[in-house]
Amino acid sequence: MIKAVIFDMDGLILDTEKLLVKYWCQAANEAGFPMQREHALNIRSLARKFAIPYLQGIFGEEFDYVKIRSRRMELMKQHISEHGLETKPGIAELLDYLDSKGIPAAIATATDIQRTEDYLGQVGLLGRFSRIVCAAMVENGKPKPDIYLYAAEQLGLPAGGCMALEDSPNGVRSASDAGCVTVMVPDIASAYQSRMKTADLSSGEEIAIFNQLQQDVQAAGVDFTNDFVQAVLTLDEPTLDDTMPDTERLSRFAQAAFDGCTEVKLTYHTVKKLAKTLREANFKVQITGTLTDGVLTVMDVSAQEDAPLYGCAIDIGTTTVTGVLMDLKTGTLTAKASAGNGQIRYGADVINRIIEQGKPGGVKRLQDAILKETLLPLVAAMCKSAGISVSRVFRVCIASNTTMNHLLLGVDANPVRMEPYIPTFFQWRGMTAKDLGFPANPDAEILLAPNIGSYVGGRVHEPHLGQG
């Protein structure tokens, strides 16, 4: 019979595992060691005496664990001070249930006691545990069983009478070897990111399918032309006799480069980089933009004379997110990738995610989960595969169901789940990457496929990447 529950903390009570992984890698790379995500995952809950030989076995004896760990802690502290801490969904409800049954709860963590108490205090859980046991209190930390044996001793129980909840293999081994009834609760943030995969297009099979779809759509009478234009301009260099501002100089030459151009507009992003780019390129640059109804909108200026021009299409499913990268000059599929939707840890269905969005800080949590944790690495992976910078993505098309669209944009989705089930919008245009924080050129237009109904997905009724 279970008489107590012993919790790990990082990645199980607190949603900090993603931060530990991120900042371990950053701190190590700053020091010149190419630590990757898998290295950081392997030292989760691992005591210092075991982590040091593991990391030095990979990176050499010059890997200064203490110094790099100190930098990792500094980075985490800064992040937490700016953004706060998040608990894992359901932890408060579980503790309430244990209290109602008179079952004590304890913590067994690799984190030191001061930070443990500080973290728990920040999220209002400090008083919810009858015992807090840290690795420094025992001879051997995880994966050795000492910490769970000591926690059970502090509870006045045999280890076999305690259930241990863990999210890492090292923690599971520690609890299991101690004799606890052990339950692994995988950190979902790690789980969905580890499922990210970039398609291998070398066989041509995926490209052939894509090309056939293109042909089918064109045969149905849909035009794939777009309003993007590029031109290489050789400008007159300024002199004491020619003091025309850079914006006016570029606009004059840009207008002359295109028939029918009656007006030139430069985006803020373009103006910011204009002076430096012109001078580094000796006033010979390539401009990228759109030409619509005689109005040329310059979205980028580059010293590269054959700068890439790409578009990105994203399908946001409740469980899985898929993306493709397309060369807008040739219409060629250049990359494809998929990943789990990071929002899944807030509920497997749209209703639970809407409910989570309504909690304090929920709007930002749900939006960050899809934007920062899912789309950012997904698009980055595709761009890396294609050998381009994300700044060369100039148009984005996103298709998803009504709820996913609202959560992506940080728009209140609660009315969608309540009679008469009214969304904030069915169709919305005019948004750019900088508005949303999407990983693309700041001025790239974000096109959302129109919703059909309250819970029904978006439908692509035109080739959004191609149409202006």
Residue 459 lies in a domain: no
Residue 453 lies in a domain: no
Beta-strand relationship, 295-302 and 263-266: parallel
pLDDT in tens, 416-443: 888 888 888 888 888 999 999 999 999 9
E strand map for 213-262: 228-234
Looking at the structure, tell me whether residues 117 and 131 fall in a common domain: yes
Residue 454 lies in a domain: no
CATH of the domain at 141: 3.40.50.1000
CATH of the domain at 267: 3.10.20.880
Residue/partner pairs of 323-329 with CB below 8 Å, 24 or more apart: 323/375, 323/378, 323/379, 323/382, 324/210, 324/382, 325/382, 325/383, 325/385, 325/386, 325/393, 326/465, 328/226, 328/228, 328/394, 328/395, 328/465, 328/466
Give the count of beta carbons closer than 10 Å to the beta carbon of residue 192. 22
Residue 460 lies in a domain: no
Give pLDDT, residue 208: 83
Looking at the structure, tell me whether residues 298 and 315 fall in a common domain: no
Looking at the structure, tell me whether residues 213 and 235 fall in a common domain: no
Q: Which residue segment(s) compose the domain that 426 sits in?
A: 195-218+308-448
For 293, the token pair is 């109804």
Looking at the structure, tell me whether residues 292 and 428 fall in a common domain: no
Residues in the chain: 468
Please compute the mean of the pLDDT values over residues 23-46 and round it to a whole number: 87
Q: Is the pTM of this model over 0.75?
A: no
For 271, the token pair is 């103006």
Last residue of a domain, one of 252, 269, 302: 302
Looking at the structure, tell me whether residues 57 and 8 fall in a common domain: yes
Distance between CA atoms of residues 449 and 399, nearest Å: 5
Strand partners, 335: 325
Looking at the structure, tell me whether residues 284 and 326 fall in a common domain: no
Residue 378 lies in a domain: yes
Looking at the structure, tell me whether residues 262 and 213 fall in a common domain: no
Number of domains into which the chain is organized: 3
Give pLDDT, residue 37: 77
Looking at the structure, tell me whether residues 314 and 405 fall in a common domain: yes
Give pLDDT, residue 326: 92
Termini Cα distance of the chain: 66
Give the model's confidence band at 456: pLDDT under 50 very low, under 70 low, under 90 confident, else very high.
low
Give pLDDT, residue 457: 55
Mean pLDDT of the chain: 88
Looking at the structure, tell me whether residues 183 and 200 fall in a common domain: no
pLDDT in tens, 120-137: 999 999 999 999 999 889
CA angle 212, 215, 218 (to 5 degrees): 150
pLDDT in tens, 249-275: 999 999 999 999 999 999 999 999 999
Distance between CA atoms of residues 272 and 174, nearest Å: 55
Residue 293 lies in a domain: yes
Distance between CA atoms of residues 108 and 150, nearest Å: 9
CATH of the domain at 430: 3.30.420.480
Residue 89 lies in a domain: yes
Give pLDDT, residue 195: 61
Looking at the structure, tell me whether residues 128 and 248 fall in a common domain: no
Residue 80 lies in a domain: yes
| H or E, element range at 448 | strand 445-448
Distance between CA atoms of residues 315 and 323, nearest Å: 6
Looking at the structure, tell me whether residues 180 and 291 fall in a common domain: no
Q: Is pLDDT above 90 for 305? A: no
pLDDT in tens, 389-414: 999 999 999 999 999 999 999 999 99
Looking at the structure, tell me whether residues 232 and 343 fall in a common domain: no
The sign of the dihedral angle between the CA atoms of 347, 348, 352, 354 is positive
